[in-house]
């Protein structure tokens, strides 16, 4: 089948390429946040934000490109509103991750020596990796069972992350930390929770897309 006929019949791969690229940037940003947190134990500068900022900007351009393609493409392989919804969900992940890194950058180094932060970042990395796999399923047209299984795992990660946040907040509120440390850590914890929620939202969007076509 020629490229022209693929486009006419809505078989053009560009939307899958763009959505997968966006999902990959979301995962890359979580990996870079993990490295950023490790480096925060020593010395950080504004330059250390460059990679995370680049990832967010790159994803923003991908999101804009998806919008441009939606405006000029007559037939799309997925419903337009689904493509737009998934694109927006994916973009919010690196955007939130950058906010987390910005908070970490201005935090006193001693406050960041909390193992719970590392655990939460690991949850984010796992969740974003699952999102990449789920988005790739859209191209291959995998069965609903595959998507359900991955989405269930994503929900499980989000639930475990929520429990960890609750435990961390309880320790903050009931512990002996000074008020400044409580405020700073609470802010970072809640942003991490939000980033993981963004991954969950993206996974739910993929699930709904596949459910409609099953």
CA angle 140, 145, 151 (to 5 degrees): 90
Task: Please write the tens of the pLDDT for every residue from 15-30.
Answer: 999 999 999 999 999 9
**Residue 138 tokens, joined:** 């859209």
- What tens digit of pLDDT does each residue of 149-168 get? 999 999 999 999 999 888 88
pLDDT for 66: 95
pLDDT at 40: 62
Give the pLDDT confidence score for residue 50 in this predicted structure: 79
Q: Judge whether 135 and 208 are in contact, CB under 8 Å.
A: no
pLDDT category at 205 given cuts 50, 70, 90 is very high
pLDDT over 60 (residue 62): yes
Say if residue 38's pLDDT is above 50: yes
Share of the chain above pLDDT 90, in %: 52
Here the tokens at position 177 are 């930390």
Residue range 176-193: average pLDDT?
85
Q: What contacts 24+ positions apart, CB below 8 Å, involve 41-48? A: 41/109, 41/112, 41/113, 42/109, 44/104, 44/105, 46/105, 48/105
Query: In which band, very low, low, confident or very high, does the pLDDT at 11 lie, cut at 50, 70 and 90?
Result: low
What pLDDT score was predicted for residue 115?
72
Measured CA to CA in angstroms, residue 81 lies from 22, 74, 85 at distances of 17, 14, 6
Residue with tokens 């997925």: 78
Contact 199, 128 (CB under 8 A): yes
How much of the chain, in percent, has pLDDT values that exceed 70?
A: 87
**pLDDT tens-digit series, residues 69-112:** 999 888 888 899 999 999 999 999 999 999 998 888 887 777 66
**53-59: which pairs have CB atoms within 8 A and are 24 or more residues apart?**
53/98, 55/25, 55/28, 55/29, 55/94, 55/97, 55/98, 56/25, 56/29, 56/94, 56/95, 56/97, 56/98, 58/25, 59/22, 59/25, 59/26, 59/29, 59/90, 59/91, 59/94, 59/95
Average pLDDT of the residues of the chain: 85
* Per-residue pLDDT, 129: 97
pLDDT for the residue 192: 93
Q: What is the distance between the alpha carbons of residues 84 and 76, in angstroms, rounded to a whole number?
A: 12
Dist. CA 81–CA 76, nearest whole Å: 11
Answer with the residue of higher pLDDT: 198 or 117: 198
Q: How far apart are CA 15 and CA 78, in angstroms?
A: 9
According to DSSP, residue 134 is labeled: H
Q: What is the pLDDT of residue 8?
A: 41
Q: Among 51, 2, 9, 16, which Cα is nearest to 30's?
A: 51
Residue 46: pLDDT band (50, 70, 90) is low
Does the pTM of the predicted model rise above 0.85? Answer: yes
């Amino acid at each position: 089948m020629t490229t022209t006929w693929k486009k006419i019949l809505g078989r053009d791969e560009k939307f899958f390429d763009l959505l997968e690229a966006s999902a990959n940037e979301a995962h890359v940003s979580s990996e870079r946040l993990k490295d950023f947190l490790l480096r925060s134990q020593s010395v950080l500068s504004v330059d250390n934000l460059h990679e995370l900022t680049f990832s967010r900007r790159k994803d923003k351009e991908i999101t804009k490109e998806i919008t441009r393609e939606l405006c000029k493409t007559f037939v799309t392989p997925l419903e337009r509103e689904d493509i737009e919804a998934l694109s927006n969900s994916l973009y919010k992940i690196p955007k939130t991750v950058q906010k987390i890194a910005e908070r970490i950058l201005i935090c006193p180094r001693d406050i960041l020596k909390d193992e719970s932060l590392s655990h939460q970042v690991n949850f984010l990395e796992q969740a974003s990796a699952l999102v990449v796999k789920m988005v790739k399923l859209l191209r291959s047209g995998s069965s609903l069972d595959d998507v359900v299984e991955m989405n269930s795992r994503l929900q499980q990660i989000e639930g475990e992350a929520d429990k960890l946040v609750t435990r961390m907040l309880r320790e903050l509120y009931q512990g002996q930390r000074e008020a400044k440390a409580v405020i700073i850590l609470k802010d970072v914890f809640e942003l991490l929770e939000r980033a993981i929620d963004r991954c969950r939202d993206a996974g739910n969007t993929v699930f709904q897309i596949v459910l409609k076509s099953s």
